[in-house]
Amino acid sequence: WTETYAVWSPLGTYLATFHWRGVALWAGPKFSQFQKFYHPEARFISFSPCENYIVTFSPNSDRGEDKKLIIWDI
């Protein structure tokens, strides 16, 4: 499930879902949860072409979070 929408990675390896606390990646033969990324209220995601990295963006950093843009190593 997701709180907003889901995004496929470029090669179709991962499905990203958005949640209040961040982003979850789903992968594998049964698309079980693969990894979580803590970034409160993240609303946008972009995968690198080779799917080694993601970038998440949260427009709302009013809760003391000063990181609006984070680059993650998958």
List the domain range (segments joined by +) for residue 15.
6-73
Let me know if residue 1 belongs to a domain.
Answer: no
% of the chain exceeding 90 in pLDDT: 81
- pLDDT value of position 67: 78
Q: How far apart are CA 27 and CA 67, in angstroms?
A: 26
Count of structural domains within the chain:
1
Phi-psi region of 59 (alpha: psi -120 to 50; beta: other; left: phi over 0): alpha
- The structure's pTM equals 0.87
Q: What is the pLDDT of residues 14-41, one digit of tens each?
A: 999 999 999 999 999 999 999 999 999 9
Q: How many CA atoms lie within 13 A of 59 on its CB side?
A: 2
Residue 16 lies in a domain: yes
